[in-house]
Amino acid sequence: VRWLTISGNERFFAVTKRIHNNLHGSPGDGGGLGEAERAIYEEALAASAGALAELVRPGDIVYLHDPQTAALTRMTRDAGVSVIWRCHVGIDKPNDLARRAWAFLTPYIEEANAFVFSRREFVWDGLDQGKLWIVPPSIDAFSPKNQDLDPVAVGSILATIGLAADDRPAPVFRRQDGSLARVDRRAKLTQDGPLPGDAPVIAQVSRWDRLKDPAGVLRCFSEHLRHPSAHLVVAGPSVAEVADDPEGAEVLAEVERLRASLPDEVRARTHLASLPMDDVEENAAMVNAIQRHADVVLQKSLAEGFGLTVAEAMWKARPVVAGRVGGIQDQIIDGVSGVLVDDPADLASVAGAIDGLLDDPDRARAIGQAARQRVLDEFLGSRHLVQYMNLIQVMLQKEGKA
């Protein structure tokens, strides 16, 4: 089993971010998806296709993830491999923009041996239903992102990155290879001061992306939340290090400007954190600590493929407030294992849901416990692995290879 990451260039990432936004029904940068974009897209993937062809042998199975790799399906057809193409991005009620992105991608993936979508609502019109599989994503319970961390480690990691004041020197986590490691880097923070030890904390962790609505999160907190002592942490990856997201820096700058314009008292209770990505496992431990420290985890996405951050927070027994969009609906049973807000753009309702949980710690705790159980039952790698095994077996049987 091998894992490969494609490379790209600025023009490719501008096109693929547009495809991503369009698949979510959103215009993104407003550009088109025509022949010029096809040329940029195919040219950038040609090098990856060549590298891939050298590594595979006839009979191998190639599992391609998401729209950025779609053209590799066609480009590897002569290598004698079976291709599974998987898409976790989608929209519940497709509009013209989503259909335009489907039309752009369909010629590349039609020849795949199987398609995997995260949820049935995301499946594109016209695809061969006989090759279709619905497999939601999962999380790895033992990864640095999700492994248990005791409160001392959580406090110490938050202090090391600069979000909290804590002098216990134990920012320790376990790497994927089993070795112990420390969080050493600081986050880039926009805050007046660290989180007070006793303040209720609301946290959203996600890429700096308009569909995650970090500006809406700030406005929701500053204009609608009743809880006078609550603090808000909005955290995301360091924008310089997410090369395939050309909008990240712009979105972070917008959120920073909005924060600077808030009245002093409420601004002092908001914290923006850009987490370094130099060491992805260290970054994961930072996300882990922020999610664990939160009294309520928010995922105010306006559209969402699956929302891994939701499963990650649920696994940590956090009560999550999120919009009733995309794959979030498959994870949270409203009122039982989290709270869904019908319209995530309705700031008053989102704030009301958060206040409701902060007001009632017993309910918040029960929802958190049910959330952990839901992830244990449905969203761990064990379920995913069995589904993949089944998929591969059926696919190979159909092709007479097993």
> Phi and psi (nearest 5°) for 97?
-65, -40
Q: How far is the CB of 290 from ligand UDP (least distance, A)?
A: 9
Is 175 a binding residue for ligand UDP by CB under 6 A? The answer is no
In 127-230, at which residue ranges do the beta strands (DSSP E only) sit? 132-134, 172-174, 180-182, 188-190, 201-205
Are 8 and 15 within 8 A, CB to CB? no
Q: How far is the CB of 140 from ligand UDP (least distance, A)?
A: 10
CA distance 357 to 100: 40
Q: C-alpha 50: how far from its chain's center?
A: 29
> Phi and psi (nearest 5°) for 365?
-65, -45
Is 246 a binding residue for ligand UDP by CB under 6 A? The answer is no
Q: How far is the CB of 120 from ligand UDP (least distance, A)?
A: 18
Name the residue nearer to ligand UDP (CB basis): 86 or 145: 145
Q: Which stretch binds ligand UDP (CB under 6 A): 100-108, 167-175, 279-287, 394-402?
A: 279-287
Site string for ligand UDP, 200-219 (x = CB under 6 A): -----xxx------------
Within 8 A by CB and 6+ apart from 151, the residues are none
Among 270, 283, 329, 337, binds ligand UDP (CB under 6 A): 283
Is 143 a binding residue for ligand UDP by CB under 6 A? The answer is no
* 145-164 residues near ligand UDP, rule: CB under 6 A: 145
Name the residue nearer to ligand UDP (CB basis): 305 or 319: 305
Q: How far is the CB of 11 from ligand UDP (least distance, A)?
A: 21
Name the residue nearer to ligand UDP (CB basis): 44 or 284: 284
Is 136 a binding residue for ligand UDP by CB under 6 A? The answer is no
Name the residue nearer to ligand UDP (CB basis): 166 or 282: 282
Q: From 121, 128, 136, select the one nearest 106 (Cα to Cα).
A: 128
CA distance 396 to 402: 5
For 312: left if phi > 0, alpha if psi spans -120 to 50, otherwise beta; the answer is alpha
Is 68 a binding residue for ligand UDP by CB under 6 A? The answer is no
CA distances from 59 to 50, 78, 79, 109, 113 (A): 18, 12, 9, 19, 12
Is 370 a binding residue for ligand UDP by CB under 6 A? The answer is no
Is 313 a binding residue for ligand UDP by CB under 6 A? The answer is no
Residues binding ligand UDP: what is the number (CB under 6 A)?
Answer: 16
Is 309 a binding residue for ligand UDP by CB under 6 A? The answer is yes
CA distance 72 to 12: 14
Site string for ligand UDP, 288-307 (x = CB under 6 A): -----------------xxx
> Phi and psi (nearest 5°) for 115?
-115, 140
Calculate the dihedral angle through the C-alpha atoms of 88, 142, 274, 29, rounding to the nearest 10 degrees. Answer: -10
Among 159, 287, 296, 297, binds ligand UDP (CB under 6 A): 287
CA distance 35 to 104: 9
Among 61, 239, 308, 322, binds ligand UDP (CB under 6 A): 308
Among 14, 158, 284, 303, binds ligand UDP (CB under 6 A): 284
Name the residue nearer to ligand UDP (CB basis): 26 or 366: 26
Query: Which pair of structure tokens corresponds to residue 93?
Result: 């009620």
Binding site for ligand UDP (CB under 6 A): 145, 205-207, 236-237, 275, 283-284, 287, 305-309, 312
